[in-house]
Structures are given as C-alpha cells and as structure tokens.
Structure 1
Amino acid sequence: MKVGNRLTLYIVIGLIAGIIIGSIFNLMSEQAWVQWIDQYVFNLVGQIFLSLIFMVVVPVVFISIVLGVIGVGDPKKLGGLGIKTLAFYLTTTAIAITLALIIALVLQPGEGQSDLLDSPEVEEYRQTELEGDTGEAVEQTFDQTVINIIPNNVIEAMATANMLQIIAFAVFIGIGIIAVGEKAKGLIRIFEEANEVIMWIVLAIMKYFAAIGAFGLVATAFTQAGFGAIQQLGMYFVCVLLALFIHLIFVYGSAIQFLAKKNFLWFIKGFLPAMGVAFSTSSSSATLPVSMETAQKNLGVRKSISSFVQPLGATINMDGTAIMQGVATVFIAQLTGVDLTVTQMITVVVIAVVASIGTAGVPGVGLVMLAMVLTAVGLDPAAIGIILGIDRLLDMTRTAVNITGDAAISVVLNEQDLRKEAQGDTRPSE
C-alpha cells in the first residue's frame, strides 16, 4: 500500500472543503444548529482521525528508531549521523527565527495598535493560562533538559509519549542488538514484522480516514476561528505566513536543490500527502507515521535514515514554531512601545532554539514556548491572548513547515550518504 497521488488529491479536496464550509459556518457560529454540527460532526470526525494517528505514534517511533539504528550498523556512523542531524536542525531553526525577526522589524505589524493590549483576551489569558501550570513543562534549565533525555521509567515515557526519552531508549536497544550480533537475529525479525504490521495500520488509517479526518479538523478550526479573526491582526498574520513561505522556498528549497541535488518541485509533490495531514492535525507527532512512510515511499529515503532523522526532527526541529515566536515577540514589543535591543533579539534566537529541544509536537505548544521567550526579554506574556484567535489557523501552517523541514533534512542526509557509498565503491578500482 503506497501513499499515492489519488490519496493526495482526496486530502487536498478535504482541506479545501473544510476551509470553505468552516468559513461559511463561522458567519453563523452563534446558531445552535451550527454549533451542533461543529461539535458532533466536524469535531467528532476530526478527533477520531487524530486519535487513530496518535494511537500508533509511540510504536512507530520506537520500532522505527530501533530498526534505523540496526540499519546504520556501526555505532560510530550512527553518532556521525546524529551530530549532522542535530547541527542541521539547530541551524535551520536559528535561521527561521532570525528571518522572522527581520520581517517583523521591516513590516512592523504592531505599529499603531497599542489599544489591543486593553482587550479582554489579555486578562483572560493571564488568569486562565499564566496562573495555571501550563508553562512548567518548558520552564527548566538546559542541563535539566539534557538529563531528562534519559528515561527513569521507560513505561512511563511511552505512556506519556515523551519522544526524546523513547528515542534514547530505542537507540540503546538498537546498539545492544548490534553488539549481541547473531544471538539477536530472532529479535530483529520480531521488530521487522512488527514494523510491517504497524505501517499497514498507518496506511490503512490514511487510506480510509485521512481525507474525511482532514476535512473535519479544518472545518472545526475555521468554524471556530474563521477569516474574520484575521481582520484586526492582518499584518501579524501576513508576517508569519510570509516568513513561513520564504523559509520553505529558500531555506528548504536550497537544501534540496544544492545539498541533495534534487528538484524542489519533485520534493514538494512527493511529500504533499504528509503536508496535508500536518496542516489538518497541527501536530508534528501525529503526522510522524505518515511523514516517514511518505519520505520512504515517495522520496526514496532509506529506512535507516528516515527512521532516525524524522522522529528526532518531530521532537527538536520547530522552524515554523520559531518563526511564529519571532514575529509574535516583535509584534507584542511594538504594541507595548518597546524597541528590542540587539542583545534582546539575540536572546530571543538563543532561547527559541534551545526551547525547541524536547518540546512536544502537539497543537498549541508553541504558545507555551512563546510565554518563556517573552518573559526572557521583559515583555508581558499575557499579551499572547491577543493572537489566540488566529493561532489555530497559523498553527496548521507552521506544523506543515515543521515536518517539511524534517523531510528535507532526511533527503539531504540520505543523498549525501548515497554519494559517500558510491565514492567508496569506486575507490578500489581507481
């Protein structure tokens, strides 16, 4: 079963239908029958699809990482792959937030709109979010983040879908299997057969539920938010979308064109099904099984590369989220009448890059990270309440950019590895 063109078409049709119908229903959102349809049709269908995908995320990540480590074979080669992957991800994230800061400083989305700070959404966000426990997950020092990569309880890590800990444990299992050698052949076969079963489930979910699920998720998002929410924050919305578009085309496009030496349109066409699922779910983690299968089947990325690079990217590579944070920080500073210094902007870049490590790939987590960034540069995090109305719409777009970056890096590393192998094959004959 392959992620093919027909499925891509169905997902795109579902997305377009969801946007159109959701936008129409948003105009009548106060009507009881519209709320009933939104809750018991759109949201129900969308959440069932999301739950089906989340159901397989942990086994997909664990099994894929183990097989990926086994496929790489040499622990030294695995270490080299890990270092290159991490370097690529941190570099693109730093570029993303720097680009966002520049665009926001040039277009000035917050100029002349200081009255937005007096809106009831600001105080509501302060009371409901900032006075609760939502920020605790990311309010930790860098050393704590590193320590927390190693799980104290593997079962708990899997139960809570702690991706970094699951990846760490899977890497150890894979290395252990390599070290044991022939004695573990039966265990390898079990992992391979389990992978076949899980991937069949993933593709079955995609085949039968993806289009209708994407429709439901997007329809409920636009019914609740709609384009009307964009009017007051039009320039902020444009700045985020513009930065996402530039990053996608020029950063990822350049990586595919010059580092992987592949056509960027070929890449986009092949990866489009996963981008559609990411747009509808707003979750890198939920899209992971689909994005891995799409990269392997449509883009020719080897399982040993894809199984390691993409799960790691879904956890630490948040370029789209970093772009939102950069634009939002400048936007809120302009609303407040604060001119960010060069030091403060460097602080934003560093904190956003570091905070992206270990951040869960779930809807809305970017706002929790943004609160930490704003606090670090002396801005009131309650101002996040201003952008809540349109964040769901932007979250869909930036998630699509996040997982596209993961796939782009996996293609680059795959092609570089293939070229090294080709050169190694020719050396003895020279």
Structure 2
Amino acid sequence: MTPYEKTLKWIKDNTVEFEDSAYLTISNVENHPYPEIMGYMIPTLQKCGEFSLAEKYKNWLLKNKNVDKFWGLFGKSYLFDTAQVYYGLSQFDIDLTDVEHYIINHVNNDGTFKMQYADNIPNDVNILSVSRLPESKYKNIKDLVRNRIQKTDLNNYKKYMLHFYAYIIEGCIELGMKDEALKLYRNLNCKITAYQDVDWNCWVSVAQISKCLFMLNEDINNAKNYVELLIKNQNINGSFYGCNKGGNYKQDQEISWVSKYFVDAYLMYIKTFFYNWNASQSSPDFDRLQFIINNKKDGKLLDYGCGKGRFIEALEEHFYEIYGCELEGNNLTYCKNRFKNIYSCDMLGNVHNMSEKFDTIIVNEVFEHIQNHDIVLKSLKQMLTDDGILIILDKDFNSFDSTIKQPFEDLSISSFTYKIKQIFSNVTFHKINNNFIGWVANDRK
C-alpha cells in the first residue's frame, strides 16, 4: 500500500458509521466526533473519490448541530469550527445562508474578528473562516479582512504554534493575498518546527506548510521534502502522531487532522511531479506494441495517460480514430500541439469535456502512479463500448530496480488483478517481457 492508501484506510478505520451517516473521531484515543475536522475533510474525501463517505459526514453534521444551530466541540459553537463545517457542506447543494450570516456577523468593521480564543491561539486563524465564503456574495466582508491584513505586522504571528500560523497562511492564499502568504512563509526562514524556539515537529504543521507551498507554487523542492519527511514518520497503520519525540502536542495520539492535511499535500505532491514531468518521446518497444495489437478491438482508441503521444503515433494505422488524454502540464501541452482529439483528465479517471465511447482503451505505465485504482477502473469501464477492451500495461516492479520508484508508485500484481476482477467479467494477466506486465479486461459474454 502507498502512504496515501494507508492514511485513507486509517481515516475509514477511525470513522464511526451508521446507516446513512458517519463521524470521524478526534483520534485513536479520543473517540468522540470532531465537527471542524469532518467539515474540512469532506472536500479531501471528494478529491479521493470517496463520495459516499463524504456524503455520510455531511448527513451527520446536519443532524448534529449545537443548540444555536452551529458547530463546535462539546456543545459550544465557534467561528472557526462552524466555518470549516460550512466549507464541507458547501460542496453540496444546500442552503447555508444562516451559516454564512453567522460567519459574517463575527467580522468587525475594521476587519478583525469578534470571537476570541485562548492566548495561545491567534484570533486570525479566522482568516481561514472568511476566506471560504463565496466572493460573489461577500466581497465587501472579505475586503475588510484583506485591508486589515495589509496593515498588520505579520511578524507578530511568529510566536504562535506553526499549526495556527499555517492556517493564517492558507487563509491569505484563499483570499488571493499571495504576497502576504509568501511573506508569512519566508518569515519562518524554512524552520518548520512546532514553535520557532523548539526543535520538535508538529506533524500537521509540516503537512499544512507543504500544502501551502504547493498552492503558492513556491519553494516546491521544500514542499516535496516536507511530504517525504511525513512519509518517513508515518505509522505503519497510516496514521501520524501529533508530534515527534520530545514534543508536547498529542505525542502519543494518532490525530485525524494530520491525516487530512497529509492527503491534501500528498495529492499535490503527485500532481506537481506530473505537471513538470517530460514523458519519453522514444518509440515504444515492440513487445508492448504487439501486445496491444494482438488484444485490441478494431475501431476507436483512447490512450489514457498518453504522455507525449508516442503510442498514439505508433498505433495510428491500426485504429480509424485515436484519442488521448493527459494531466495538465508539459505533456498535455505538447500533445495538443501535435495531435488532434487530445483532452485533459484527472487522476480519478475523468476525461474533461468528452463523451465518447471507445472500442479499446489502453493505459500504459499509469496505474503504478494512481492512488484510486477502483475508482479509475470503474470510470474507464463506463467509457468502453459494451464489448470494448481495456488493455493495461505497466512495469514489473519485481524486475525493475526498486530505487527508481517514486514514493507514490506501487502496483502489487495479485491485489491489482483482484481489483480488476471485481469490475470486469473477463480478466487475463500476461508477462509481456522481462520488464513489463499487462492485463486484458472486458465484459464479453
């Protein structure tokens, strides 16, 4: 399992499910629900394709409001908690006007916030509360906060825990205040310990700063390094403690909000890798081409994850129409300039602005990078004609040098074969050559 898969499994294992709702526990020790975390976990789950679980969190939150109809721990409503629940619920078609009014009623005319926290929590974490309101409806309120931030001495935040400091950076990014967010980050001088005067890490802070750097598209090497630091400190069950040894932030608890920010940063880590990746332009090897030709169905072909289109070019004479799709980045730009019928796609199997059905879909050296095999397989199946063929080709990691693997690359032959068989009626596995393996799947009767 990849680090991502382990963390997603931990989230599910620490979710208490009912018939049509569910809640996520604070940690493996504190097993009561945490509305704030569930709220901002919902968009993360949706990015992972976990729509059913996101829906259950939504249902639980709607059924379990405080007496005043808002959210917070132990019956007391807070602005930040309510705003994060709002962020999750806003992913659905729900009238949240009353929640929006609750949020804006906590903003003073000078752009500060009415609700005060303990002395160790900066009130400006609520920048991330206001930032989540729709700009079209509440630009005037958001402008109050923007104008006030521009007049604030950003160095004043450095005394606070990095966890809260990172919320402020994220809020500034969402408000479109990139310069202020960058200044806040640079004030740290790349020191990502829990506080500036200690030498221990709060793991959620590391994940948050990594995510913010990816959002800013700045200091990407450090953003990647922070993800890899988290992977090294991930527990075997996919969880993270609050901090490393020597720290005093839930050191012995597996806490849920680290998992949320780790998944966010991890997905951005993969996306950045492919955005800047230049796929090979060399001609594909004979064995893989012959494998496709021997197993294809004549007609229309989709190359899912087409790289720079070398298989499109090599297979043109074998299909009357060829389509390709690729993630946003260098390879997609290259293909669009060279071939017709090229579309953008995501890592959940969605091809944007395309409604075609295909006789053959090929997926070459893609599933080793994908974190959601089941979801992508189902999406690809929906794009096939009734008797269409799915042809998957990938590296045999039993043969390849394991040191060239990226942290997110993983493909177990037995478990992946099992997954395909859960979705397709007919599945065969093939050893193509010393370096590559393949699967052919269809629903033919």
Question: Scaled by the length of structure 1, what TM-score is found?
Answer: 0.24
Q: Work out which of the two has the higher radius of gyration on C-alpha atoms and give 1 or 2.
A: 2
Which structure has more helix as a fraction of its residues? Answer: 1
Question: Scaled by the length of structure 2, what TM-score is found?
Answer: 0.24
Q: Which has the higher contact order (CA 8 A, sep 6+)?
A: 1
Which structure has more strand as a fraction of its residues? Answer: 2
